[in-house]
Copies of this chain bind each other. A is one copy, B any other.
Amino acid sequence: MSFVNQVEKYAELAVKVGVNIQPGQTLVVRTPLFAADFVRIVAKKAYEAGAGHVEVEWSDEEIAKLKYKLAPDESFHTYPEWRAKGLEEEAEKGSAFLSITGTDPDLLKGVDPERIANANKAAGAALNGFRNYITSDKVSWSIVAVPSVGWAETVFPEEKGEAAVEKLWNAIFAATRIDQADPVAAWKDHLATLDEKMEILNKHHFQALHYTAEGTDLTIELPETHLWVSGGSISKGGVDFVANMPTEEVFTAAKKTGVNGHVTSTKPLSYGGSLIEDFKLTFKDGKIIEASAKKGQETLDRLLENDENSRYIGEVALVPHKSPISDTNIIFFNTLFDENASNHLAIGSAYAFNIEGGKEMSNEELEKNGINTSQTHVDFMVGSATMDIDGIQEDGSRVPVFRNGNWAI
């Protein structure tokens, strides 16, 4: 398959399987400028599939960076209300949302972390209403990746410019099954496999999970009404969609106050344009009481101070070490890929749909049901080839869930 052909298939997959656009629906694309060529193909596929409008919210890495360097301090405490309200308005109308990721993971290196933290806080607060539509699957949404030069050169430091970009495209195609004869069919098979695991986990209804690996000994209790969910989602309007492409995870919510022990990250985490690497978190009754990073300590500290609940975890996701993404043997420095090649946890908010009836609950009700609500949701990777996970049942007995990094259930 030619390169152009593969890009087209990827765009088609994003439109048809990712957000699963419906006739007359608006597709909102949130994207960096460097992905323009891809976004044009997405627009074409969307209109061909019957979309009524393709509304693009562009952002530019370089202008963002200029602002961080040159604007006055006050500029980082606000976010344009009308953009946030616009997204809410589109969500209320039932539009579908496609986000393009792929920014240089270390773009904001050297920028004052306080500025970044303030900007993230302001955006988080402004986007609260919109995020609610997303985290409770009220609308169909998806995230796909397009390589920027900066990202590609981070992943393949031995290559430069277009050569690095092409190499990263090929890794993306492999990770998203675009290199297979019929990607749409391959995705249907794959989603069915994830659904099986989900059903087994829901049948077991474990009280807790116990993680062990080098640098990790962590127990995570699960809320009474937790639900395991897989990569395939259903919007409020009844439309199947796939929120992450790739997705290899089956995930649920942690009991907010039921996390104890310590866990060590196994892949770098790009957060707010800076990398955090080799970090260890210690938990007591759900709260992160210690956090140390070999690189990016200040960024990690600020992440945990985002709001009052960003010292608790929300999501618990199981991902086998063996997958098309892992098989590429690449560290992507991009959460969309790295989290789908590794067991991960999310600092911050749980997904409302990960407990029974959660989609209809207010934040207060979600907290009452034992899960964390926060403006933050940042996945970090903890899985490895040596990780074991036990499921703990009501009677205290243990069931092997993961052995040596892969499904044992």
Chain A residues within CB distance 8 Å of chain B: 24, 33, 36, 39-40, 43-44, 47-48, 50-56, 58, 60, 62-63, 66-67, 69-72, 74-75, 78, 80-83, 85-86, 89-90
Cα-based distance from A50 to B74 in the complex (angstroms): 12
Complex Cα distance, B81 from A86, in Å, reads: 8
Complexed CA–CA distance, A312 and B76 (Å) = 47
* Other-chain contact of A53, B47, B69, B75 (Cβ < 8 Å): B75
Q: Which residues of B contact A50 (CB under 8 A)?
A: 72
Name the distance in Å between A41's Cβ and chain B's nearest Cβ.
10
Q: Are B81 and A83 in contact (CB under 8 A)?
A: no
In angstroms, Cα B80 to Cα A82, docked, is 12
A14 and B60 CA atoms in complex are apart in Å by 20
Q: Which of B33, B47, B67 contacts A66 (CB 8 A)?
A: B47
Seed contacts A40-B63, A80-B90; 13 additional CB < 8 Å A-B pairs: A24-B74, A33-B33, A36-B60, A40-B62, A43-B66, A43-B67, A44-B70, A47-B71, A51-B71, A52-B71, A54-B63, A82-B85, A82-B90
The distance in angstroms between the C-alpha atoms of A62 and B42, with both chains bound, is 12
Cα-based distance from A24 to B44 in the complex (angstroms)? 40
In the complex, are the beta carbons of A66 and B40 less than 8 A apart? yes
Could you tell me if B56 and A58 are in contact, using CB atoms closer than 8 angstroms? yes
Given contacts A36-B33, A53-B75, A60-B40, contact A67 B47 (CB under 8 A): yes
In the assembled complex, the CB of A48 is this many whole angstroms from the nearest CB of chain B, namely 6
Q: How far is the CA of A52 from the CA of B77 in the complex (A)?
A: 11
Complex contact B47–A56 (CB within 8 A): no
A52 B74 Cβ-Cβ under 8 A:
yes
Residue of B with least CB distance to A51: B71
Cα separation A272 to B54 with both chains bound (whole Å): 19
Q: Nearest Cβ distance between residue A290 and chain B, in whole angstroms?
A: 37
Residues of B within 8 A of A40 (CB): 60, 62-63, 66
Interfacial chain B residues near A58, Cβ < 8 Å? 33, 56, 58
Name the contact of A82 in the complex, choosing from B53, B74, B86 (C-beta under 8 A).
B86
A81 touches B72 (CB 8 A): no
Alpha-carbon distance between A67 and B47 when the two chains are bound, in angstroms: 7
CA distance A71 to B45 in the complex (A): 11
A368 to chain B, nearest CB (A): 33
A78: which B residues are within 8 A, CB to CB?
53
Q: List 7 A-B contacts (CB under 8 A).
A: A43-B63, A43-B66, A47-B67, A52-B74, A56-B60, A80-B86, A85-B85
